[in-house]
Amino acid sequence: MRILVVEDDDRVARALSTALRHAGYEVVRVPTAAEAVAAPPADLVLLDLGLPDAEGTDVLRALRRRSSGDGRPGGPAVIAVTARSEEASRVRLLRGGADDYVVKPFGVAELLARVEAVLRRTRTERGLARSTGQVLRLGALRVRGAERRAELGGHPLPLTPKEFDLLALLSRHAGAVVRRDVIAEQVWQTPLAGGVRPPGAFRTVDTHVASLRAKLAALAGRAAPGEGVPTIRTERGTGYALVLPDEP
């Protein structure tokens, strides 16, 4: 597995590269956004957002565009490294194409665990993309499993891989509440370990739900008259449900 480390701080880059190589990964390190976009394809990109030559979200979009042009479904997984921990910043990262994020300062053990989890999810996603051909319908929403894309009112929903998996799961159980622990296990493959949920698992679920909810709302006006537009309802303390609005 090849990991591209995009980090302009030599000290941090050396520490990350050493830890990843010790864990058995092939590592390529570049210090700028321009070099990141031009680098050979990788399985995962560890992207620091404080680069000197570009905004981190611009680099995310460039990586996604390049992977689409190369015919690489979904492109590389991307873990963003950020110093900002507020929810709005996390949502922007996920909307911009990040599969996960770590907030500075972080430990090497946490980073390696996230790398392993994201790569495991990526392998699962690619298997699902080959094997799932069902089209799920709910009002104006269409979720196309084989193509890993979704539409609302005939317009594409710009989803990250994890947002698509979340939407597909909620669509398969439309109208029913899906517990957060079930979402964490089925979308992120984070089962209980010794009876304890990994730190941050539910926060990751909630952040992705917030991003997905906003994207559905942004396209709601594109639906044809009479077509129901699904929304994500929160069942406090339990989970989420994808539902159509009540009929008048």
Query: Please, what is the average pLDDT of the chain?
Result: 82
Q: Please name every residue paired with 235 in a beta bridge, in sequence order, or none if there are none.
A: 239
The answer to whether residue 40 scores a pLDDT higher than 90 is no
Tell me which H or E stretch contains 231: strand 231-235
DSSP assignment of 154-198 equals TEE----HHHHHHHHHHHHTTTSPEEHHHHHHHHH----BTTBPP
What pTM value is reported for the model? 0.53
Contact between 8 and 32 (Cβ < 8 Å): yes
For residues 191 and 97, give the distance between their C-alpha atoms in angstroms, rounded to a whole number: 24
**CATH no. for 2-127:** 3.40.50.2300
pLDDT of 130 reads 42
The 3-state DSSP class for residue 97 equals: coil
The answer to whether residue 124 scores a pLDDT higher than 80 is no
* pLDDT-based confidence at residue 75 (cuts at 50, 70, 90): low
Average pLDDT over residues 98-113: 87
Average pLDDT over residues 71-92: 75
DSSP assignment of 61-90 equals HHHHHHHHHTT-TT-SEEEEEES--SHHHH
pLDDT of 248 reads 35
For the domain made up of 133-243, the CATH class stated in words is mainly alpha
* pLDDT-based confidence at residue 118 (cuts at 50, 70, 90): confident
The answer to whether residue 227 scores a pLDDT higher than 90 is no
- Angle in degrees, 0-180, between the axes of helices 87-96 and 201-218, rounded to the nearest 10: 70
Domain boundaries, the chain: 2-127, 133-243
pLDDT digits (tens, 9 = 90+) for 174-214: 888 899 988 988 888 765 444 445 557 788 999 999 999 99
pLDDT digits (tens, 9 = 90+) for 43-72: 899 999 888 888 777 888 887 776 544 434
pLDDT digits (tens, 9 = 90+) for 1-35: 899 999 999 999 999 999 999 988 999 999 999 99
